[in-house]
Structure 1
Amino acid sequence: MDIVVTGRHTQIKQKFRDVVESKMNRVTAIAPDAQRVQVVLTHEGNPRQADSAKRVELTVIAGKTVVRAEASSADEFSAFDMALDKLTLRLRRTRDRRKDHRRGLERLPMPMDMPLEKPQESVVEPEEQNSAQQDAMASDLGPGQSVEVQVGDTPIVIRRKLHIAEPMSIDEALYEMELIGHDFFLFVNKETNRPSVVYRRHGWSYGVFEIDTPEHMAEAKK
């Protein structure tokens, strides 16, 4: 299993790398098919956020399955331990779900913790934004590629990303949403073939949005 450790606004110390590698057996014990683990350590320079100055994001890639977790603390080691606890919990749920499917059972997703932010793949630099904004938003992206564009002189940033996914059921979409720790998940409903979004409401309550066009609905009625 490949272990990739990177830092944002901070240098990665060898001691932190050693701790990460020494504890990755917790991941392989639960997910022996894991191919890659990405560890991102971010330092927040604002002194008012000293208690959460270090944020660790963990991403495990096992085939088509992606599981994420993150945590913040005053130091990188405690942040890593907390993120690893969340990650192993989600990996166990993934393993249990696979067992249930082999038995022909369906399991509803369990509520998880906080929404996560995915690492930024590509960012448009500020000095290029005014001239390249329209081109960036209109250009074709490859699978997994993304672009961020700031709107003029405002603090508004628009992020565009292309995600390729096979159609799935609502239950599968809810499960994928919980795996990545988000409050919503965009997918194609295999029953209706419509772009759809599942989202968390309150407690055990979930919602689904489906999108269609009048032209497509008219064609379907013919």
Structure 2
Amino acid sequence: MEIVVVGRHTEVADRFRRHVEDKLSKVTQLAPAARRVDVEVTRENNPRLSEVRERVELTVRAKGPVIRAEAAADDRFGALDIALDKLTERLRRSRDRRKDHRRRANGVLPSVDVRPYDEVAAAETAAEVPAPVALAEPGDAVEQQLGDSPVVIRRKLHHAEAMTVDDAVYQMEMVGHDFFLFIDKETARPSAVYRRRGWTYGVIELDSTVGGVEPVTELT
């Protein structure tokens, strides 16, 4: 299993890389089919956020949906431990779910491919709002500054397959997000499931037949 460690706005020392490899050795026990684990370390330079200045995100890439966990702490070693605890719990749940489905006779879960790819564009610095950029292939991403304001908008294209609402909720839990985009298998509509209070969830569906909208067809 390959382990890839990258830093955003920070350098990653060899000592920490070795520590990561040692800690992540147990991943193969829970996910023997895992091909790669991406480890992203981010440092927040704002002094007001010193207690959560180091963020570690772990992403297990295997055949099927990804499993992700992240955590922040005042040092990256502590953040890694917290994120690894979350990841381990999600890997156990994923393993148990696979075992349960193997006992059933009605087939395999539909899946959605939301694997992370390397970022392919940097933020625009022009004073005027840049022209829209088409995202042609899954993994294409772009960051654009909103005029001369400090606001930066990031867009990324993901590949999706049709799935049930139940599967979408499960996928959302596996990546640790508060929402999840998917194609509803029953209605064929673009949809989003999101977390509400307690153990309740909501679903938003889009009417994909919108007139008067022309998509951008060229990448700039």
Provide the TM-score with structure 2 as the length reference: 0.84
| Number of residues of Structure 1 aligned to a counterpart in Structure 2 | 202
In structure 2, which of residues 163, 166, 190 is the aligned counterpart of residue 168 of structure 1?
Answer: 163
The Cα of 1:52 is off from its aligned counterpart by 1.4
The C-alpha deviation readout for 1:7-40, integer Å capped at 9, x for no partner, is: 1121111110111111112111100100010111
Q: Which residue of 2 aligns with 1:50?
A: 50
CA distance in 2, matches of 1:207, 1:140: 28
What is the aligned partner in structure 2 of residue 121 from structure 1? 119
SS at match of 1:17: helix
Distance 2:117 2:84 in 1: 17
SS at 2:61 equivalent = strand
Query: Are 2:189 and 1:183 aligned?
Result: no
Separation in 1 of the partners of 2:16 and 2:210? 56
With 83-92 and 154-163 compared, the bigger mean Cα shift is at 154-163
**Which residue pairs with 2:20 in the alignment?**
20
Aligned equivalents of 1:129 and 1:104: distance in 2? 58
CA distance in 1, matches of 2:47, 2:105: 50
Whichever structure has more helix as a proportion of its residues is 1
1:155: Cα distance to partner? 3.0
What secondary structure sits across from 1:127 in the alignment? coil
The verdict on how the C-alpha distance between 1:48 and 1:174 changes in structure 2, with shifts beyond 3 A counting, is same
Do the aligned partners of 2:124 and 2:143 also contact (CA within 8 Å) in 1?
no
Which amino acid is 1:167 matched to?
Answer: A
Which residue of the other structure, out of 144, 163, 178, is the alignment partner of 1:149? 144
Q: TM-score, normalised by structure 1?
A: 0.83
Contact kept in structure 2, 1:41 and 1:56, CA below 8 Å:
yes
Q: What amino acid is aligned across from residue 203 of structure 1 in structure 2? A: G
What residue in structure 2 maps to residue 211 of structure 1?
206
Residue 128 of structure 2: SS of its match in structure 1? helix
Show structure 2 runs of 5+ residues with no match.
107-115, 212-220
Q: Distance in 2 between matches of 1:34 and 1:28?
A: 7
Identity of aligned residues (%): 54
The alignment status of 1:83 with 2:78, answered yes or no, reads no
**Corresponding residue of 2:190:** 195
CA contact (8 A) 1:129 1:149 kept: no
Give 1:84 shift.
0.5
Q: Deviations over 1:34-68 (max 9, x none)?
A: 00101111111122222212111111101122011
Does residue 4 of structure 1 match 2:21? no
- The 3 A distance-change label for structure 1 pair 129 and 186 is farther
Q: What is the distance in 2 between the residues matched to 1:213 and 1:166?
A: 16
**1:142 alignment partner AA:** E
Amino acid in the other structure paired with 1:208: V
Q: Is the 8 A contact 2:9 2:42 kept in 1?
A: yes
User: In the TM superposition, what whole-angstrom CA distance separates every residue of 1:147-196 from its partner, at most 9, and x where no partner exists?
Assistant: 11111012333222211111111111111111111111111111111111
Superimposed CA distance per residue, residues 58-101 of structure 1 (whole angstroms, 9 cap, x where no aligned partner) = 11101122011111111111111111111111111111111111
Aligned CA-pair RMSD: 2.3
